[in-house]
Amino acid sequence: MSDTPTRPLSDRVLALAGLAQALAQVRRIADTGQANESVLATSLDSIFRIDADTAATVYGGREQLRPGLMLLRDYFGGKPRDEHLPRLALAVMQLERRFVRDDAMARKVREGIQAQSGTAAEHGSTHPDVLAALGGLYADTLSHLRPRVLVQGNPHYLGQPTVVAEVRAVLLAAMRSAVLWRQLGGSLWDFLLRRRDMAAAVDAQLR
C-alpha cells in the first residue's frame, strides 16, 4: 500500500493486529520451533501484497486478523498474554523509522520481495525456499539497522538455521505491518493519547 492520508483508527488497528499476529508467531517459533501454519501464511502473504487497496486486503480479509485483534484487545484491556510481545512490537516500530529513511535498503527489500513473488504464488509463501529467501533478505538488510530486534526463545530451536530463517522471514512480515501502520497515520502517540479509542476500534473489528 502506498502512502495515504491519515485513515480511520479502524484501518490502523488492522495493521497493528497484523503486527501483533506476526510477532506472536515469531515468539511461538522461537519457543517451540513451529508456527501455526494458517496464521503464518497470513503474515507471509502480506509481504507480497505491496500495492493492496485496503488494509484488510493486505491480510486477505479482516477475518484473517482475528488472532491479532484478540491480542490487541487483551493488551488494551491490561491483560497481555505475553509480556515480551509489547516490547518486541515497540522494537519493530522503532526499527521501522530507520528503515523507511534508508532509501537504498527499502529498494533492496522491495526488489528481494519481488524476486520471490513468483515462487510464493506458485508454491505458497510458507514454502521452505521462500522462507529461506525472505529470512536471508532480512539478514542482509534490516538486521544491520540499530536498535536490533532481539528475539528470545529456546536455544535449541534458535540454534537451527531453518528456524532462524523462519523467524527472520516473519520479522519481515512484522515490519511490513509496521510500515503499513505508519502509512495509515499511526504513531506512538496513539498509545498515549488515543488508547481508549483504539480499544473501541479493536472491539468494533471483532464484532
Q: What confidence tens digit (pLDDT) does each residue in 82-95 have?
A: 989 999 999 999 99
User: Mean pLDDT for the chain?
Assistant: 94
Angle between the N-to-C axes of helices 128-140 and 161-183, in degrees from 0 to 180, rounded to the nearest 10:
70
Angle, CA 63 vertex, CA 42 and CA 192 arms, to 5° = 85
First to last CA, the chain: 25
The architecture in CATH of the region 9-206 reads Orthogonal Bundle (1.10)
Is 4 a residue whose pLDDT tops 80? no
Query: With contact defined as beta carbons under 8 Å apart, do 26 and 89 qualify?
Result: no
pTM of the model: 0.94
Which residues does 38 contact at the CB level (< 8 Å), separation at least 6? Answer: none
Domain residue ranges in the chain: 9-206
Q: What is the rounded CA–CA span in Å between residue 152 and residue 3?
A: 33
- Residue pair 21/68 in contact by the 8 Å Cβ criterion: yes
Task: Give the pLDDT confidence score for residue 5 in this predicted structure.
Answer: 43
Distances (CA, A) of 11 to 68, 168, 193: 14, 26, 17
Span 99-126, mean pLDDT?
97
Over the stretch 147-162, which tens digit does the pLDDT of each residue have? 899 999 999 999 999 9
Question: How much is the average pLDDT of 139-151?
Answer: 95
User: For 37-57, how does the pLDDT look when each residue is reduced to its tens digit (9 = 90+)?
Assistant: 999 999 999 999 988 889 999
Q: How confident is the model at residue 1 (pLDDT cuts 50, 70, 90)?
A: very low
Contacts of residue 140, defined as CB under 8 A and 6 or more positions apart, other chains included, come to 108, 112
Task: Give residue 192's pLDDT band: very low, low, confident or very high (50, 70, 90).
Answer: confident
Which position has the higher pLDDT, 80 or 24? 24
pLDDT in tens, 55-73: 999 999 999 999 999 999 9
CA dihedral 113, 116, 118, 120 (to 10 degrees): -100
Q: Is the peptide bond before 147 cis (omega within 30 degrees of 0)?
A: yes
Q: What is the mean pLDDT of residues 120-134?
A: 97
